[in-house]
Each structure stands twice: as C-alpha cells, then as structure tokens.
Amino acid sequence: MASVIATDLGKSFGHHQALSHISLVANSGEFIALLGPSGCGKTTLLRLLAGFERPDHGSIELGEVLVAGRGIYLPPEKRNIGMVFQSYALWPHMTVAENVGFALSVRGTPGAERRKRVAEALELVGLSAYATRRPAQLSGGQRQRVALARCLAMRPPVILLDEPLANLDAHLRETMQHEFRRLNRELGSTFIYVTHDHAEAMSLADRVLVMSGGEVQQLAAPVTLYREPATRMVAEFIGGSMVLPVRLRQQIDADYAEAELWQQSCRLRGTAQQTDALACFRPGDFELLTGTMPTHPMSSTAGRVMDVIYRGGSYLALVQPEASDAPALRIATETPPQIGAPVGFKVRDGWILPPENLARLQPV
C-alpha cells in the first residue's frame, strides 16, 4: 500500500515559485530522504505534507485519505502524522513524560494506557530514566530523542523529520542515524526525512528525492544516484563528481559506449544519444600515471600536479590537464606524486549524463 502519494504539487510565495510539479509515491515503511541545497524547496514540501501550508495545485494522499487538493484541506491536527522539528519544539513547561504523552491526552486516551505508551516510547529511545525531567535539563541529543519519542507514542503511519540532526555534533549524529534506521525497520512507519547532507541521505534512505530550484532532479535508490545520476546537479551534489564534456562515438553494447575525452579513447557507462555530451567522473575513475613511460594521446592525457591532499588512508591529486583550461581534476591515488611533477592519467570509468530534457527520471 502506498503510504504517501503526492501528485504534481505546486506552491509559490508571492513571486517566488517554491515548488513545481512535484510528484512522489512512498510505500508503507519506506525511508525516503528529501535532499537538496538550501532553497530547493524540500522544507516546503515537508510542510505541505504536514499541512502547515496549502498547495496551490496538485494533491496529497496519506494512506487512502485525500488530505489536500481538489478543494479539500485537512489541517495538521487531523492528519495523524508525526513530526520531528529541527528545533525539537519541546514544550518547556511540561516534563518529558507530559511532552511525550501530549498527543495521547489530546485524543482522550485513558490514563493507564497513556502511561504505558509513554513508557514504551521512552524505552524505544532509551530515555526511560528521564521521564520526570524538564527539557531545559536535557542535553541536545537527549532533547532530540524526546522529540522522537513524542512522535513514536502516537504510532503514526508517517513520520516527517525536518533536518533533525543539523544541530548535533558529528559523533552524536552518527549514533542518531543508526537509531532512525532501527526505528524505521522496527515500527514499519514511513519516514520522510529532509536533509542537505548527501552522505546522511545516502546512508539512511531507501530512496532519495533530489531537489533543486523547486523541481525534482531524480528519485532513486542511493546506489543509482551515485552511479547513474540523471542530471548534472545530482552528479555534482552527490559524491563531488567532475562533469566534463565528451565526444561520443558509438554504443558498444546495452551498457557501454565508446567515447573520447580530450582525444583520449575510453569506455563509459550509459547510452550515446548524441555526439557531444557530458559525462560525470569520480576521483576513483581516473588512474594516475607517473614516471616517464611514453604515452600516446589517445590512451592517456598529460597534466601537471597542482596540489596533493591527504584523505586519511589515500590521497587526492589535483591535476591540471594540459589540453584544456578545465578546472583541475581530482584523482585518487595511493602514492602521492610530487607537486609540480608532470603526470598522465587514464580514464577507467565514467557515466554519460542523459541529455537535459530527458533528465527527469520517473518514480519507481
């Protein structure tokens, strides 16, 4: 059963078009990340799902229920969803237990049942001992977990999370990421998670919706996003690819095509649809050639090492290709070359970006 269906959503604020033609289908229990740079519209989309804003056009269904669109608008209090806010939004005048149990008391759940559910929720996040404390007495990470427990007590089918880890330090962030994954699997609730951090999205989500400028760039599993980005934006946003112009010669088979980068022949993944195209390369897609072996322009390209950066275990060499004014390439290597040394590099892999007008991948 699809848990969240958003169809062709649009929303503008004054002259600013925050969202256009956003569609998304999330299956029950899925972990979907909304990923993109600031201003891309991901928070707006989340707030539309929550009901804090009303879409200009399009519709939203939660479960089987139409909550927005076609003349209907259900306010947030009636949507039965959970939300973890970036600022946690814990009510300072209530204890942890009162915070967690608030939704239940609003619904009139009898006292004994309510206390049981609150205890369960607190145990799920490991804060059973803090039930009588007040938010002011808790650390950032603890408040984060109370905010989560508050959602869990309601046992909602959908939980929205608005950059919940943005205010925590790196170590705590990793712990909480494990928590989110675990809870998602244990509870079976659909998680919709907003973040601007691509590493976080990749490690947490089943599928990622990459957004930019209010539009969908790609909706796919993290592996696909990494290996087969649909647009330049996705390629550059995730994994720090380098996007370079290539000449495509011919399709070798279903998966590979023959191409030319600065006169060097190479074999790239993807489909050759036109002669001039863009391809995306990762630092590991190049092989650095040091030494004075004679090279043929068609099998390798010459360059000069501008800088070498240590990456904890391996190195990144910044190589300026002689053939072009393109910015320096980042090439992964085990052994650091000399800065200023002339080197050569071979293309081992790469992905041909689909032409821009075919860029939107359909949701699967």
Partner 1 sequence: MTDLATAAAGRRRPLLLPRSEQLFLCLVLAYVAVIGLWPLLRLFSETFTSVPGQPLALLRDVWSSRSLQRALGNTIIASAGATLFATVTGSAMALVIGVTDLPGKSLAVFVFLLPLLIPPQITAMAWTEFTGSNSLILNLLHLAPAAGSTNPLYSGYGIMLVMGIEHAAIVFLTVRAGLRAVPRDLIEAARLAGAGPKHITRKIILPVLRPAIFSGAALAFVSAIGNFGVPALLGIPGRYPMLTTLIYQQLNGFGPTVLGSVSAVSLLLVALAAIGLGMKALLAARPATIERGAELQPFPLGGWLLILLPLLWLWLGVSAAMPLLSLLVTSFLPAVGVPLTAASATLDNYRFVLLNDAGTQRAFVNSFALAAAAGVVSALIALPLGYFLALRRSRLARLIDLLADAPYAVPGIVLAIGVILVFLPPLPVLHVSLYGTIWIILIAYLARSLPLALRPTVAAFEQLDRALDEAGQIAGAGLLKRMRRILMPSVAPSLAAGAILVFMIAFTELTVSALLWSSGHETLGVVVFMLHGEGNTTGAAALAVLMIIVITGLALVMSAVSRWLPKGVVPWQA
Nearer to partner 1, 77 or 253 (CB): 77
Cβ pair 308, 315 in contact under 8 A? yes
* 71, 92, 294, 340: which one binds partner 1 (CB under 8 A): 92
Smallest distance from partner 1 to CB 256, Å: 40
- Angstrom distance (rounded) from CA 282 to CA 92: 47
Nearer to partner 1, 164 or 344 (CB): 164
Smallest distance from partner 1 to CB 2, Å: 21
54 touching partner 1, by CB under 8 A: yes
Smallest distance from partner 1 to CB 161, Å: 12
155 touching partner 1, by CB under 8 A: no
Q: Which two tokens stand for residue 187?
A: 């509870």
* DSSP-derived secondary structure letter, 78: G
307 touching partner 1, by CB under 8 A: no
17 touching partner 1, by CB under 8 A: no
* 12, 91, 221, 339: which one binds partner 1 (CB under 8 A): 91
Q: Which spans in the chain are helix H?
A: 42-50, 96-106, 111-125, 140-154, 170-187, 198-204, 222-227, 232-237
Smallest distance from partner 1 to CB 238, Å: 19
- Angstrom distance (rounded) from CA 123 to CA 149: 9
249 touching partner 1, by CB under 8 A: no
Nearer to partner 1, 75 or 245 (CB): 75
* 5, 17, 85, 328: which one binds partner 1 (CB under 8 A): 85
- Angstrom distance (rounded) from CA 2 to CA 35: 21
Nearer to partner 1, 47 or 330 (CB): 47
- 129, burial (CB in 10 Å: exposed 0-12, middle 13-18, buried 19+): exposed
* 6, 20, 36, 47: which one binds partner 1 (CB under 8 A): 47
Write phi, then psi, for 251 (nearest 5 degrees). -80, 125
What three-state secondary structure class fits 330? strand
Residues 178 to 237 in contact with partner 1, rule: CB under 8 A? 196
82 touching partner 1, by CB under 8 A: yes
96 touching partner 1, by CB under 8 A: no
| Residue of 5, 7, 47, 50 lying closest to 26 (CA atoms) | 5
| Residue of 160, 162, 3 lying closest to 83 (CA atoms) | 160
Residues within the interface to partner 1 (CB under 8 A): 13, 16, 38-39, 43-44, 47, 50-54, 73, 75-78, 80-83, 85-93, 102-103, 106-107, 150, 154, 196
